[in-house]
Structure 1
């Protein structure tokens, strides 16, 4: 039902004192002009069930992409499992690695797309990847380093706020894979896989390029 009442202009950005417009509207969104010279407001749609399957715990992230044929891929993450959404029946299917995951209460999953790969990290476990062309199960991208944040830049996969077996937790470190080699994290001048510690600014909270 459309509520066609001649409300005045929606002006919540103006000072409240002597504001001639409408400053608050609950459960409605503004549309076009009313036939009576005001603004038409539309009721917000009610929530509806999208999938009748559930994850092992509350969702912590989602990621979308597509395979080489243009088919959409949707992935979801919980504390102990990673899932894909089947488009035919909208069911969540567990496609975690065999060992599963142990995301701690303070961590979250983050994902990036690299070519046909969907790559995720939760810092508690090794970075994970899946090839969207085959779309079978997630697996370890590398066992050499973990990262709290992840991104890509000009052919590199980048982890920030890292942990590795040699140096332990280094909150101010950025580490990147080999060029066009997202699974190669061995330091090498040939592949350009390396790291940099950024001093004087505290822990890396997030990094994004472009």
Structure 2
């Protein structure tokens, strides 16, 4: 009587799969794709260089889908027009006085771009406008984000209370330029009651996340 030995097992028939299986240790100059890697495309120049060191930038799309890029230096704000940086510094107030270790932080609010550097009043520019202008003179801030319909600032300095590094302050509902504290407009501020230290940044969205030096706080809207 004939006996059959152990069956011979063949690998899956997959001629379109990459040659490398799971033994690749080091992959350089490539990007991951489904079932393998692809070559990293060569970078192309988008704009010319800023006249001095850049310390913050943002890119947003306008109403027709065109990209607008803004960037800041210690003393100026710029708008990239066809790859060329155009001075978009405020017309009233002169050059900015950002600290040597400071930076610009930007956020998109509707069709506007808001930027803050803590040394100057927060700045705003509307889509299509040529220059930034003061958003408010009520305070200065290091951080800014958009949480639902509120523009939120963190680590603030105002004429009344001075520098309050852990303070979080927000605008009126759906009005990023109104910071008069009012139960009607819902503009207000809060000093988190915990030993969290200075505000390090804010992440916006449906809810807000406020990052302190030693704690994290969540902002939830209650109607």
Is 1:168 aligned to residue 170 of structure 2?
no
Q: Root-mean-square deviation (CA), in Å? A: 2.2
Which of 62, 67, 86 is 1:67 aligned to?
62
For 1:50, the equivalent position in structure 2 comes to 46
Q: Distance in 2 between matches of 1:71 and 1:40?
A: 31
Q: Distance in 2 between matches of 1:40 and 1:192?
A: 51
Report matched runs for 1:53-202 at 5 Å: 53-87=48-82, 90-98=83-91, 99-132=94-127, 134-200=128-194, 201-202=196-197
Which of 17, 26, 48 is 2:28 aligned to?
26
CA pair 40-160 structure 1, distance change in 2 beyond 3 A: closer
TM-score with structure 1 setting the length: 0.77
CA pair 64-32 structure 1, distance change in 2 beyond 3 A: closer
Aligned residues: 185
User: 1:45: Cα distance to partner?
Assistant: 4.0
Whether the aligned pair in 2 keeps the contact of 1:160 and 1:173 (CA below 8 Å) is yes
Unaligned runs of 5+ in 1: 10-20, 34-38
Aligned residue for 1:205, secondary structure, equals: strand
Unaligned runs of 5+ in 2: 1-17, 207-223
Whether the aligned pair in 1 keeps the contact of 2:30 and 2:37 (CA below 8 Å) is no
Aligned residue for 2:202, secondary structure, equals: coil
CA pair 93-7 structure 1, distance change in 2 beyond 3 A: same
Q: Distance in 1 between matches of 2:62 and 2:107?
A: 15
Whether the aligned pair in 2 keeps the contact of 1:176 and 1:195 (CA below 8 Å) is yes
CA pair 193-72 structure 1, distance change in 2 beyond 3 A: same
User: 1:179: Cα distance to partner?
Assistant: 1.5
Q: Distance in 2 between matches of 1:127 and 1:100?
A: 13
Q: Deviations for 1:123-163, whole angstroms, at most 9, x for unmatched residues?
A: 1211110011x321101101111111111122211101111
Q: Deviations for 1:58-91, whole angstroms, at most 9, x for unmatched residues?
A: 222221223333333221222221111113xx11
TM-score with structure 2 setting the length: 0.73
